[in-house]
């Protein structure tokens, strides 16, 4: 018999506790409660990030953990339930770099296909004070790089956000 549930996959209805089964609904395979008939939709994971610029430099953090350990990315992380995305981006930047930033514009919203990571990433352009970044949380290192001389970047979404920054704002 094939294993049909992942380790964190919901198997019981959160409303009535009955078992969920799979049915084709709205053109997709969905989980439906055998007891109350509710459709259980998979919720998208949303991440936020900041492209923090200072003159012609961009703030990057070196990833301490997999995936893409040792590569550089924008400060960011997952959005908590009920959290404002712009505030979450500023919070993640503070947690990873010690810098207080002000998000000044929405840079891009990116779709990330695949089974891991966020499904959607919201990227803000931000400005930082003259303070020096200090790596913390899951960042191994945090520093500014010349926008035209960046190290190896983690994730396709990071590369796309950097391209959008270069195109749009010419920091």
Query: Which pair of structure tokens corresponds to residue 88?
Result: 């979450």
Residues 6+ apart with CB under 8 A from 84: none
User: Are the C-beta atoms of 68 and 154 separated by less than 8 Å?
Assistant: yes
Q: Is the peptide bond before 67 cis (omega within 30 degrees of 0)?
A: yes
Residues acting as catalytic residues = 141
User: Are the C-beta atoms of 59 and 158 separated by less than 8 Å?
Assistant: no
Cα(24)–Cα(58) distance, integer angstroms: 46
């Amino acid at each position: 018999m094939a294993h049909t549930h992942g380790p964190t996959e919901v198997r019981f209805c959160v409303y009535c506790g009955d078992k969920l089964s799979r049915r084709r609904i709205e053109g997709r395979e969905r989980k439906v409660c055998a007891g109350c008939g509710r459709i259980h939709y998979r919720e998208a994971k949303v991440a936020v990030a900041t492209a923090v610029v200072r003159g012609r430099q961009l703030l990057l953090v070196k990833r301490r953990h997999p995936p893409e350990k040792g590569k550089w990315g924008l400060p960011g992380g997952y959005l908590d339930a009920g959290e404002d995305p712009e505030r979450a981006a500023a919070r993640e930047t503070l947690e990873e770099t010690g810098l207080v930033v002000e998000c000044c514009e929405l840079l891009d919203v990116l779709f990330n296909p695949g089974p891991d990571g966020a499904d959607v990433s919201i990227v803000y352009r931000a400005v930082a004070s003259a303070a020096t970044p200090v790596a913390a949380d899951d960042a191994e290192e945090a520093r500014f790089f010349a926008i035209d001389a960046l190290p190896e970047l983690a994730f396709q979404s990071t590369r796309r956000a950097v391209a959008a920054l270069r195109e749009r704002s010419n920091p």
